[in-house]
């Protein structure tokens, strides 16, 4: 059954990539996925069992890819939770998640940026406490099975919902919608980033996005962002990826456009992506840029499972 589903997914991806003229790119990516499937999963260096800390103002724990457990005072949220061993049943996890879902004993919000397999993952959602309210982009609720969460909210870009003093605002991203490829056109609003504000602290979670010279300046004008979680991969092939995914250089342009104080990179190291020459390529480019731009104090590269507390 699993292999039939995987085959259907594969066929859908082939159809979509052929339609968009990306078939040679597809076969290069598949080559990496097939060769990578034999690689042993790296253990996470950190795997704390009590991630929720009484009295903390802000803490950020990188679970891997775009999944972060974030605590702002008494509120706990998770972004694009993925704990599974593969996504879309073809892209295998390369490093263990930096946290077990069972260690999350309190959860207020689940923030989902878009519907792609590496961001909306049903088994991972099902492993979380159902006390949380789920936030999705427009059209996202239809893709969410009935898992028993307290509440499901869809947000259009620039729209906010306030709950328990936390204001969550969806903001535009430059990516593509849908989940299965063929539905990208009908779900062309189903991808966003989010700004989360609570007790004077403002965090920006970009989701998946390419660079845009106006968009992030506009977000920066509307919000005073302390911490920006920004994607740095996949990098290659740049001609194709740059439309929908920032590399390190572009992520740092977003960081500057936002006027944010601190950046934490995401969307790398966890799954095989694009045709990057190695799994550390995106991070290597970021480290070069940090050095060139003297950003050592402002860009924090977390290890998988590492938790950073902010004063």
Chain contacts with Zn ion (rule: CB under 5 A): 116, 118, 208
Smallest distance, Zn ion to C-beta of residue 98, A: 17
Return the number of the residue (98 or 233) whose C-beta is nearest Zn ion.
233
Q: Which is nearer to Zn ion, 116 or 187 (CB)?
A: 116
CB of 258 to Zn ion, least distance (A): 20
Pick 118 or 236: Cβ nearer Zn ion: 118
Cβ nearer to Zn ion, comparing 58 with 272: 272
In the bound state with Zn ion, the residue whose beta carbon lies nearer, of 75 and 114, is 114
C-beta closer to Zn ion: residue 113 or 202 = 113
Shortest distance, CB of residue 150 to Zn ion, whole angstroms?
26
What's the 3-state SS for the chain?
A: CHHHHHHHHHHHHHHHHHHCCCHHHHHHHHHHHHHHCCCCCECCCCCCCCCCCCCCCEEEEEEECCEEEEEECCEEEEECCCCCCEECCCEEECECCCCCHHHCCCCCEEECCECCCCCCCHHHHHCCCCCCEEEEECCHHHHCCCCCCCEEEEECCCCEEEECCEEEEEEECCCCCCCCCCCCCCCCCCEEEEEEEECCEEEEECCCCCCCCCHHHHHHHHCCCCEEEEECCCCCCHHHHCCCCCCHHHHHHHHHHHCCCEEEEECCCCECCCCCCCCCHHHHHHHHHHHHHCCCCCECCCCCCCEEEEC
Q: Please state the closest distance from residue 118 (CB atom) to Zn ion, in A.
A: 4
Task: Give the nearest distance from C-beta 34 to Zn ion in angstroms.
Answer: 20
CB of 175 to Zn ion, least distance (A): 6
């Amino acid at each position: 059954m699993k292999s039939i589903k995987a085959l259907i997914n594969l066929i859908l991806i082939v159809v979509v990539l052929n339609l968009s003229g990306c078939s040679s790119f597809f076969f290069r990516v598949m080559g990496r996925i097939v060769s990578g499937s034999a690689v042993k999963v790296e253990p996470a260096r950190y795997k704390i069992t009590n991630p929720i800390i009484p009295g903390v103002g802000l803490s950020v724990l990188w679970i891997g890819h775009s999944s972060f457990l974030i605590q702002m005072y008494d509120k706990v949220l998770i972004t694009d939770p993925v704990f599974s061993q593969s996504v879309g049943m073809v892209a295998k996890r390369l490093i263990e998640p930096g946290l077990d879902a069972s260690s999350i004993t309190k959860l207020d919000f689940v923030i989902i940026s878009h519907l792609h397999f590496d961001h909306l993952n049903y088994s991972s959602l099902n492993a979380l406490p159902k006390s949380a309210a789920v936030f999705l982009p427009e059209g996202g609720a239809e893709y969410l099975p009935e898992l028993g969460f307290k509440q499901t909210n869809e947000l259009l870009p620039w729209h906010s919902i306030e709950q328990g003093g936390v204001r969550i605002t969806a903001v535009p991203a430059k990516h593509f919608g849908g989940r299965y490829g063929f539905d990208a056109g009908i779900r062309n609003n189903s991808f966003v980033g989010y700004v989360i504000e609570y007790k004077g602290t403002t965090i920006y979670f970009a989701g998946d996005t390419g660079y845009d010279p106006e968009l992030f300046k506009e977000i920066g004008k509307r919000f005073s962002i302390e911490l920006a979680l920004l994607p740095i991969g996949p990098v290659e092939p740049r001609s194709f990826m740059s439309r929908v995914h920032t590399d390190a250089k572009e992520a740092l342009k977003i960081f500057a456009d936002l006027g944010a104080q601190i950046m934490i990179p995401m969307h790398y190291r966890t799954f095989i992506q694009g045709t990057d020459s190695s799994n550390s390529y995106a991070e290597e480019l970021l480290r070069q840029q940090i050095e060139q731009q003297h950003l050592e104090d402002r860009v924090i590269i977390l290890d998988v499972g590492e938790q950073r507390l902010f004063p």
